[in-house]
Amino acid sequence: MASPEIQTAVQEAVVGALGVGEDEATPDATLMDDLGAESIDLLDILFRIERSTGVKIQASDLGDYIQGGMSEEEFGDGSGNVSRKGLEHLSRVMPQIDADEYEGKLEAEKVISHFTVQNLADMVAERAGAAAG
């Protein structure tokens, strides 16, 4: 769980980069679908977080975090949906995703569209914890 400081830093980064209101950048808001972030915005958000927290996350790390280091074959079920193993991992890093509910229904390509402000804060907290040892 992200500390209040990290939670605030992430929300401020989202608000600053996307020009949305604090009332819009809620923990449950998805970065891409709800708040309209594009790839350049994600980069901006990650640079702002690095400046305020010292936690460096590359844009290319997001996919690895979401996919848990699994290969495409492990993460997908062969028909483009997230596999059971992939869903079980997702339910840890994106707890709003219920593995049972989404089984056979969640396209691997669309997982990123479910990534929320809270998910990003949790990722930053995890990286901060890892950096602290």
Partner 1 sequence: MPSVQGPQPASQLTVQVGVDIVGVERIARLVTAHPGAVEALFTPAEQAYCLRKRRKHEHLAGRFAGKEAVLKAIGTGMRRRMRWIEVEIVSGEAGRPRVQLHGEVAEQARLRGLRDLDVSISHSDGLALAHAIAVCDHDSNPGGARAVSPD
Residues that bind partner 1 (CB under 8 A): 32, 39-40, 42-44, 47-48, 51, 58-60, 62-64, 66-67, 71-73, 75-76, 80, 107-109, 111-112, 115
Name residue, tokens 């339910």: 91
CB within 8 Å of 22: residues ≥ 6 apart:
11, 15
Q: How far is the CB of 4 from partner 1 (least distance, A)?
A: 25
Minimum separation from the CB atom of position 31 to partner 1 (A):
9
Q: Which is nearer to partner 1, 3 or 93 (CB)?
A: 93
Closest CA to 126 of 75, 71, 35, 53: 53
| Distance of closest approach, residue 6 Cβ to partner 1, in angstroms | 19
Compute the radius of gyration of the chain from its Cα atoms.
15
Nearer to partner 1, 57 or 125 (CB): 57
Q: What is the DSSP letter of 116?
A: B
In this structure, the dihedral spanned by the alpha carbons of residues 121, 124, 125 and 131, taken in order and rounded to 10 degrees, is 180
Comparison of 16 and 27: residue with beta carbon closer to partner 1: 16
